[in-house]
A and B are shown apart, each in its own frame.
Chain A
Amino acid sequence: MRNLFNFIIRNSHWLVAILLVAFSFYLVFAHNSYQRSVYLTSANRVTGWFYTVSGNLSSFLLLKKNNRELLERNAQLEQELYAWKAERDSLDRADTPSLEAFVADSLFLPQFGFIPAEVVNLSFSGVNNFITINKGSKQRVKPDMGVISHRGVVGVVSHVSANFAVVIPVINPKFRLSARLKHSENNGSLSWDGRNIREAQVQELPRHESFREGDTVMTSFSRIFPKNLIIGTVSGRGESADDNFVSFNLQLATDFYTLQDVLVIEDRFFEEQKALETMMQR
């Protein structure tokens, strides 16, 4: 008995180390469960503040490039606006009824609202890529909302705290989204194989589907994103596990290296649609 005690005392640091390792592994596996506490992620207050400061610094350094992109986007919108104005003017003649008759219904609520947010942290060095943004439940951000940039799809909100939210981006192996080519109605499944930050894969397209390099890839049916958002462009044929399906690589429209400003999509009918659909499943 005394020998046993001596043994335990002599080797107690090993026991402590084994306990700590066991605790760490517990964290590793608990991490995968959905009900994980938000406090051990980068959405908690201290780390959030920290990343805000460093995000501010790096956004300052990227101002010039972003500014140019915004100007380009602005110009494009201006052009569209001009086209619409021209069309309105062509309608607004003496022999047509006045446009006053078409005043928009003020009760009408568009389905999608947009919450602008800033990226405060990006991680894409390893397998567990994620993005932290500076809007949280106080600004009506909820889990499962889609996130886009002015170029294309970014990802889906996974965890939310009061002022921050963690986004699972397209470049995370856990991310799945249905996608289609612009000129076709067939759905494929978008995923990321972990190799290249600028490229993702679309799989499970029917074999007769034809595509060329440079074709646009868009979102299709999704609870999270509106239809016809740009995801990227086809960059080459990919490997397919099954002869009945084809797959291809696509160049992502969003540049994750310089991502700064994003929009969180608020689907105002999300709860309604979900409630209806779960009713069907019963």
Chain B
Amino acid sequence: MKISYLHELLLFLLLILLQVLLLSRISLFGLATPVLYGYFLLKLPMGRNLFFVIFSAFLLGLIIDIFLNTPGMNAAATTLVAMFRKPLMELFFEKEEFAGFVPGMNNAAAPFVRFALFTIFLHLTLLYFIESFTLFNLGNTLLRIITSGVSSILLIIAIDSIIYRRKSGEQS
């Protein structure tokens, strides 16, 4: 259990670094910015304490906010996503799975992709609508949500396949 917490802390820090230093500076076609840090919420065990999930999501969003000068926007979006995490998980995964179950490409590829798709699009929709409150027209915002979402999900699938396949290979 302790190793799991350490692992999560590492993922937390790495995702913040990656998002702040690299991904937030990307703007493909002036539209798509991969938003990867929501991956942290995907990789928490299924039965994890809800307070832990909500607080860590809030903290994650807040730290990203401080680096990107957008106080509150990312924090609000991630906290809202954390609230809907459990219902979404129950929708996509079988309830009999044990509490320590961590979804991933290695153990449940298809449900994991569906789960990631829903979570990331929920996150991005919230984020961009909070961000653009009055400034921009709807079409542009929707286009940004779709392009950013697709690029984020492709990245998540790729990264998850690489990291966790190697790990299971070492163990067996």
Contacts and interface: CB of A to CB of B under 8 A. Distances in A.
Interface of A: 13-14, 16-17, 20-21, 23-31, 36, 40-42, 44, 47, 50, 54, 122-128, 130, 166, 173, 194-197
A173 B135 CA distance: 8
| B51, B69, B73, B79 — most chain A CB neighbours (10 Å) | B69
B33 interface: yes
Interface string B64-103: 0111111111011001101100000000000000000000
Contacts, number: 100
Nearest to B73: A28
11 contacts: A14-B83, A24-B72, A24-B79, A28-B72, A29-B72, A31-B71, A47-B67, A123-B69, A125-B26, A125-B33, A126-B70
B79 A17 contact: yes
B39 interface: no
A25 B67 contact: no
Nearest to A26: B72
A24 B68 contact: no
Contacts of B26: 125
- Measured as residues with beta carbon below 8 angstroms from the partner, the interface class of chain B is 35 or more
A166 B51 contact: no
A127 B72 contact: no
Q: Top 4 nearest A-B pairs by Cβ distance?
A: A27-B72, A24-B76, A28-B72, A24-B75
Contact of A13 (B21, B33, B54, B132): B54
B54 A16 contact: yes
A192 to B, nearest CB: 11
Interface in B38-72: 50-51, 54-55, 58, 61-62, 65-72
Contact of B25 (A24, A31, A123, A196): A123
A126 B136 contact: no
A195 B30 contact: yes
Nearest to B21: A54
Contacts of B54: 13, 16-17, 20
Nearest to B128: A126
B27 A125 contact: yes
B66 A128 contact: no
B8 interface: no
